[in-house]
Structure formats: C-alpha cells, structure tokens
Amino acid sequence: MKVIKGRILRSISGFYDVEAADGVYTCKCKGSFRNRSLSPLVGDFVTAETDGENVGAITVIEERRNVFLRPPVANVDRLIIVASAADPKPNLYVIDKMSAIAVHRSAEPIVVFTKSDLFDCDEWCALYEKAGIKTYQCSSVTGEGIDALHDLFSAGLSVLTGNTGVGKSSLLNALCPELCLQTNEISKKLGRGKHTTRCVSVYRFGDGLVADTPGFSSMEKDERYDFIRKEELEDCFPEFSEYIGTCRFTGCAHLKDKGCAILAAVERGDIARSRHESYESMYMEVKDFKEWDKK
C-alpha cells in the first residue's frame, strides 16, 4: 500500500481527483469521515492510501485555512467575483455579499467585470476601488483587459464565482485557451445565463491554481451557505475600517444610530451609499439569528 499526499482538484459523485507529486489519483473517501459528518472539499490538502494504480482512499484531511460553502471549496487565497457589464447586468448586492464573505474567510476579494465591450464599467470599477477592493474589467470577445488578469492567478488558489451567465468559463478560456471549457449563451426568454459548469474544478495556471465554479441565479437569505454574525459584519467592509470605534456610542450598529461615523462618511460621499445599503441588508438578515440557527 502506497501513501500519497496531495490536493483535491475536483469532486464528482463521491470520487475525488487528488493531485500528488507523481500524478493525479482518483480517490474515494473513507467511511470514518461520514461518521464525523466531514466531507472532503475541492482545495483540501489530503493524505490517501493507494494500490499504486492511481486509485485510492482518502484517509486524512489536513487542517483547513478557510472554508467556503458556496462555492464549496477550501483553502482559498483569493475569491474572484465575476460580474458582467450586461446580459445579465451587475447585481451590486451579490458582489458586496460575496466580497464580505471573502474578507470574513481571510481570502482576498477581487471583482472582475466581464463583457466590457457591451458597456462601460468605469463607474463600477471606481466604486469598488474606492472601497479598497481590486477591480478589473475585460472582454473575452475583444481580449481587452485579459492580459492584466494573468498575474492574479500566478500563485495560490484563486476561485471564480458569480451569477450564472456572467462569463466565468469564457474568461478562463480567454486566459488559457487550451482548457476549452464549455460555454453557453444567455437565455433570451429568461434573461439570465444557463448553467454550464456543473461542479467545482481546479486547473493549473502557471505556478497557481484557478477554480471554475457553478453559477447561481439568486442568493436567498434563508440559505446558511456562509454566515457572518452581525457583530463581525462591520469588519467585512474594508472601507469601514478607519471609522470603526469612532462612533459616539459603543456598540453602534451603523444603521440609523446618532453620532455614527460610518453614516456620516456615507453622507459625505467617502463611503458609497450602495455599499452601506448592502451592509444594512446583510445586517437585517442576520440580526435575529442565534448560533443554533446555523445548525
């Protein structure tokens, strides 16, 4: 029996592709994990036993640096939030929520606006750059802005996420044509994208790794995919940091509180109103949740 160490690149129907130093092994998960309600995730560093035929069983899941439930992936260095300039138009709340989750999980949030050939993204780019979040715009059709993205994926694990139809797979194809990932046109009847990516898949990109993930059509508030306690939420908006602790009253929720430094910054235009509105919506979603509600 041979023991290997590696990283999970993809998971399909209970089988896991584990990249080790000498190749990729297809592994199943030992039953002991199921007994502990622990499942391997794409991005996990694992130990596996194999019979030497590139088939094996995962025996150890190493301690995770972070975990995302939507998309389901572990040990993420940066979350690339992909939004499109048009077809479908950007949903700023989704971008704000995903970026907050990234900060909360100690991953760097980066926003990429695709389809820049259809609409000028400068205003949105300025909004997120002002918030301290790296932002890019590009077109997979014209190639505009594609070269500027290469350095994003040069090290660590980068995960692409975003609404269905924003062009994640098209973006990866433009960055790395040899991948030949399946893409689909926007549904004219529904006005949104069709799902083409069915599972989280990780690809080698130079010295780094990049993950393509299934798109989503909505982010319902009753989904416990990534929970942020209301007391922690202010720390998930980078542009709030210089004002935290300077409000008139201790424990300020930054909603309608008198003497709130963050609200004053919004009124001055130092913090974008749309960003504060997203903060308020997220706060109201979780304000009455108790710790046991997440279970």
The pLDDT tens digits for 195-218 are 344 578 898 888 899 998 876 654
Q: Do 149 and 138 contact (CB within 8 A), yes or no?
A: yes
Domain with CATH 1.10.40.50 in the chain: 230-294
pTM (2 d.p.): 0.86
Instruction: Compute the distance between CA of residue 110 and CA of residue 106 in angstroms, rounded to an integer.
Output: 13
More confident residue, 240 or 182: 240
State the amino acid at position 268 in one-letter form. R
pLDDT tens digits, residue range 249-293? 999 999 998 999 999 999 999 999 999 999 999 999 988 776 545
Domain with CATH 2.40.50.140 in the chain: 2-61
Q: Residue 18 is which amino acid?
A: V
Band (pLDDT 50/70/90 cuts) for residue 40 is: very high
Which of 27-41, 44-58, 75-89, 125-139 shows the highest mean pLDDT?
125-139
Task: Return the pLDDT at 181.
Answer: 58
Q: Which fold has domain 67-212?
A: Rossmann fold (3.40.50)
Residue 190 has pLDDT above 80, yes or no: no
Residue 239: helix, strand or coil by DSSP? Answer: helix
The residues of the chain that CATH labels 3.40.50.300 are: 67-212
User: Any idea which architecture 2-61 has in CATH?
Assistant: Beta Barrel (2.40)
Q: Among residues of the chain, what percentage have pLDDT more than 70?
A: 86
Model confidence pLDDT, tens digit, residues 136-158? 999 988 999 999 998 888 889 99
> In 75-104, which positions are buried (b, 16+ CB within 10 angstroms) versus exposed (e)?
bbbbbbbbbbbebbebbbebbbbbbbbbbb
**181 or 202, greater pLDDT:** 202
**So what CATH class is 230-294?**
mainly alpha
CA angle 15, 20, 21 (to 5 degrees): 165
